[in-house]
């Protein structure tokens, strides 16, 4: 758990946090230390409840942690404080989308696009809402099927089709598989999640059917590391985040689908599950079977977060990205030049930096001085 120093209320006379505090919270978000980021934004909002970016960024953190309902509350508060803030509408739309509500989500995205004046940023989300809304349109019962398309009648009785109590879906990255059971308002005491190296079992006891619990038992496509897996029970779903034993794309979440267990494929798709009960709005919103590139969506979200950074935080984020993607020689050049020049030079060229000591180069109009202790 991250340690956060709380600033006394009487010291918070300014309308917004100081730049160092803002940068610290943003850096925690960039570093994917979401627990620390959440603590920092909690403190920020407590001290500066009218600081809109605090609510917007905490909404991002809650989305990252799988807390879509909390993310929606934060984004709604940001919109209430400043309904002309396009990013507040964007985060509100993303939270609605995560909760399986494409209609209000689309309205938020349309409003954000209108306010920002740049529609391209919102097109992907609007298109996804349109896809879900189109998939929920009921068929016209007055349109009869053509005679040639009607199946031959059979005298044999048809077996009843059993509708699952809850819909489940999944998505993946190279390192993780996330399984979601779309069950609302589950009491943590009524849920059991058992994770083994090749199997996951989710059991939910329902007060309406106490003698018939919901059980989802999956023999996994590949191996996972149970100790590194995480679970969460939210207002709209039960989530199981599985850490893959090997970094590879799975053909499906269950063994025997899309190839032999352990095989790899470049396809990332939700699990093919029977349709959920029509009365469930979340299940209805996700009923259309589509192939979703979740890795691409994650990159789009990260880019949006980078675009929101300003000042020192944006500069630090850029340097961190360069260092993260650099080879060993480039990293050595960056470390050597920065340390030897007392932070006035940052070079990526080892051929030049490796030859001699990097001299201090103060900004124009300033002079470097040596202090003796």
Sign of the dihedral defined by the CA atoms of residues 164, 166, 171, 172, in that order: negative
Question: Going by C-beta distance under 8 Å and a sequence separation of 6 or more, which residues neighbour residue 307?
Answer: none
What is residue 242's predicted lDDT score, i.e. its pLDDT? 93
Residues paired with residue 218 on neighbouring β-strands, in sequence order: 200
* pLDDT digits 0-9 by tens, 294-340: 555 555 665 655 555 555 566 666 777 777 777 888 888 888 887 88
Q: Does the domain made of 9-134 have the CATH classification 2.40.50.100?
A: no
What is residue 162's predicted lDDT score, i.e. its pLDDT? 47
Q: In which band, very low, low, confident or very high, does the pLDDT at 45 lie, cut at 50, 70 and 90?
A: very high
| Residue bearing tokens 């998939």 | 135
Q: What's the pTM?
A: 0.41
Does residue 261 or residue 46 have the better pLDDT? 46
Per-chain mean pLDDT for the chain: 75
Does residue 32 or residue 244 have the better pLDDT? 244
Mean pLDDT, to the nearest integer, of 28-57? 90
**Cβ 175 vs Cβ 268: under 8 Å:** no
Q: In which band, very low, low, confident or very high, does the pLDDT at 214 lie, cut at 50, 70 and 90?
A: confident
What is residue 58's predicted lDDT score, i.e. its pLDDT? 95
Q: Does the domain made of 164-287 have the CATH classification 3.30.70.20?
A: no
Query: Which of 181-185, 286-290, 318-322 is least confident?
Result: 286-290
* pLDDT digits 0-9 by tens, 84-137: 999 999 999 999 999 989 999 999 999 999 998 877 778 888 988 998 888 754
What is residue 8's predicted lDDT score, i.e. its pLDDT? 38
**Cβ 225 vs Cβ 196: under 8 Å:** no
Question: Going by C-beta distance under 8 Å and a sequence separation of 6 or more, which residues neighbour residue 53?
Answer: 22, 308
Q: In which band, very low, low, confident or very high, does the pLDDT at 7 lie, cut at 50, 70 and 90?
A: very low
Does residue 73 or residue 344 have the better pLDDT? 73
Does residue 191 or residue 288 have the better pLDDT? 191
DSSP 251: S
What is residue 307's predicted lDDT score, i.e. its pLDDT? 56
Q: In which band, very low, low, confident or very high, does the pLDDT at 42 lie, cut at 50, 70 and 90?
A: very high
Whether residue 18 has pLDDT greater than 80: yes
Does residue 369 or residue 42 have the better pLDDT? 42
Element (H, E) at 202: strand 199-206
Q: In which band, very low, low, confident or very high, does the pLDDT at 369 lie, cut at 50, 70 and 90?
A: low
What is residue 44's predicted lDDT score, i.e. its pLDDT? 92
Domain borders along the chain are 9-134, 164-287
User: 180: burial class by Cβ within 10 Å (0-12, 13-18, 19+)?
Assistant: buried
In the chain, the percentage of residues whose pLDDT exceeds 70 is 68
Does residue 18 or residue 119 have the better pLDDT? 18
Kindly write down the DSSP assignment for every residue of 307-358, as one continuous string: HH--HHHHHHHHHHHHHHH--HHHHHHHHHHHHHTTTS-----HHHHTTSPP
Mean pLDDT, to the nearest integer, of 254-272? 43
In the chain, the percentage of residues whose pLDDT exceeds 90 is 28
């Amino acid at each position: 758990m991250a340690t956060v120093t709380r600033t006394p209320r009487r010291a918070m006379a300014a309308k917004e946090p100081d730049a160092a505090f803002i940068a610290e919270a943003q850096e925690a978000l960039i570093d994917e230390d979401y627990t620390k980021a959440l603590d920092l934004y909690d403190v920020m909002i407590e001290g500066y409840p009218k600081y809109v970016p605090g609510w917007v960024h905490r909404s991002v953190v809650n989305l990252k942690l799988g807390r879509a309902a909390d993310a929606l509350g934060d984004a709604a508060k940001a919109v209430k404080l400043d309904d002309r803030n396009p990013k507040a509408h964007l985060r509100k739309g993303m939270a609605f989308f995560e909760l399986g509500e494409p209609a209000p989500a689309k309205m938020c995205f349309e409003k954000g696009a209108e306010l920002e004046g740049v529609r391209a940023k919102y097109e992907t989300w609007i298109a996804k809402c349109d896809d879900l809304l189109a998939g929920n349109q009921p068929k016209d019962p007055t349109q009869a099927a053509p005679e040639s398309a009607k199946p031959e009648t059979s005298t044999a009785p048809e077996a009843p089709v059993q509708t699952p109590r809850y819909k489940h879906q999944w998505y993946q990255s190279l390192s993780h598989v996330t399984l979601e059971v779309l069950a609302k308002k589950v009491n943590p005491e009524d849920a059991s999640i058992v994770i083994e190296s090749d199997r996951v079992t989710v059991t939910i006891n329902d007060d309406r059917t106490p003698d018939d619990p919901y059980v989802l038992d999956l023999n996994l496509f590949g191996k996972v590391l149970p100790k590194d897996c995480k679970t969460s029970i939210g207002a709209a779903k039960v989530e199981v985040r599985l850490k893959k034993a090997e970094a590879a794309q799975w053909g499906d979440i269950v063994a025997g689908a899309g190839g032999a267990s352990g095989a790899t494929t470049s396809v990332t798709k939700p699990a093919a599950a029977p349709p959920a009960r029509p009365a469930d709005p979340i299940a209805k919103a996700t009923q259309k079977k589509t192939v979703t590139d979740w890795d691409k969506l994650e990159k789009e979200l990260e880019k949006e977060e980078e675009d929101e950074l300003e000042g020192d935080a944006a500069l630090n984020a850029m340097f961190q990205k360069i260092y993260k993607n650099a080879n060993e020689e480039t990293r050595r050049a960056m470390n050597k030049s920065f340390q030897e020049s007392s932070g006035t030079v940052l070079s990526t060229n080892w051929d030049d930096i490796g030859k001699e000591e990097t001299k201090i180069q103060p900004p124009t109009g300033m002079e470097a001085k040596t202090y003796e202790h």
